[in-house]
């Protein structure tokens, strides 16, 4: 049987500073004032940074879905692919890229497992080498978004998706690896034989110590733009409000993380 390595995306592959890297270029470019879509996404960023309980998080998720209703899936993915480098330029841990290459060299399959939507994760994952993607799926009809979710890839959902994939591909999970920074990904870490806590939050660090799991601290973030070299500017049809809207959607989705849905932490902050 094959083995695999499963990587969470945000703060595991993308650096801790990625949230700021997503927001600042939009603000500097004035995009937050040029489109109602982007204004809505920016408001959600502020909302999230101030803390969100589970009910608020659910409303934010529904808000992002309603924003995308009626959009063409292929066009959105093309726009996101351009916006990732042109406007967002996320920072990626070199250690994560090196580990992916190591796993591939040893015959393991590599997957990115993220609560962000496929349309965001796939264009980004294209720059990680040969990887598969397990991510949140929006419901599509006739090539357009319906404003509903088909699958939300978070918490237990990640573990279930990995189990289903393992059954289809003949993957031995007892010989596989999983990497994450968040306690919310505990189900994903527990389902493999080799769980690794990467830049773990306090709760995950505690569990990793109790269970004697490996802990890694990634400290070498590199710019996606630097990794790719000279990147052509997007064609005219992808600029302006359309590109701004896609960037806003990327920001909103990338910042909506299960870790924020913890009322006890929120209460302590407010």
Residues designated catalytic: 8, 10
What is the C-alpha separation between 255 and 203, in angstroms, rounded? 20
| Cα→Cα distances 87→54, 93, 97, 127, 236, Å | 30, 19, 22, 16, 14
DSSP character string of 192-240:
SSEEEEES--HHHHHHHHHHT-EEE----EEEHHHHH-S-PPPPGGGSH
What is the C-alpha separation between 56 and 260, in angstroms, rounded? 10
Angle between the N-to-C axes of helices 18-28 and 36-49, in degrees from 0 to 180, rounded to the nearest 10:
140
What is the C-alpha separation between 6 and 110, in angstroms, rounded? 6
| Cα→Cα distances 75→78, 172, 246, Å | 5, 37, 10
Q: CA-based diameter of the chain, in Å?
A: 54
Q: 87 in helix, strand or coil?
A: helix
The answer to whether 173 and 192 are in contact (CB under 8 A) is yes
- Please name which of 59, 52, 30 lies closest in space to residue 240, comparing C-alpha atoms: 30
């Amino acid at each position: 049987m094959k083995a695999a390595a499963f990587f969470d995306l945000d703060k595991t592959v993308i650096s801790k500073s990625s949230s700021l890297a997503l927001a600042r270029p939009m603000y500097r470019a004035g995009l937050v004032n040029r489109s109602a879509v982007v204004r809505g996404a920016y408001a959600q960023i502020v909302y999230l940074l101030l803390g969100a309980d589970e009910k608020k998080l659910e409303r934010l998720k529904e808000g992002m879905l309603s924003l995308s209703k009626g959009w063409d899936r292929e066009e959105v993915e093309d726009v996101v692919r351009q916006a990732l480098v042109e406007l967002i330029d996320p920072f990626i841990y070199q250690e994560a890229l090196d580990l992916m290459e190591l796993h591939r060299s040893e015959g393991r399959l590599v997957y990115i497992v993220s609560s962000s939507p496929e349309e965001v994760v796939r264009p980004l994952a294209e720059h990680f080498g040969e990887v598969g993607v397990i991510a949140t799926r929006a419901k599509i009809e006739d090539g357009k978004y319906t404003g509903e979710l088909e699958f939300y890839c978070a918490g237990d959902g990640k573990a279930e998706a990995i189990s289903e994939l393992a059954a289809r591909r003949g993957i031995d999970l007892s010989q596989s690896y999983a990497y994450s920074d968040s306690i919310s990904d505990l189900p994903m870490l527990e389902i493999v034989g080799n769980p690794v806590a990467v830049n773990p939050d306090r709760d995950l660090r505690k569990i990793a110590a109790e269970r004697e799991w490996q802990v890694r601290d990634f400290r070498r973030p590199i710019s996606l733009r630097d990794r790719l070299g000279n990147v052509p500017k997007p064609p005219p049809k992808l600029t302006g409000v359309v590109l701004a809207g896609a960037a806003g959607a990327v920001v909103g989705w990338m910042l909506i993380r299960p870790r924020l849905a913890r009322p006890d932490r929120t209460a302590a902050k407010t």
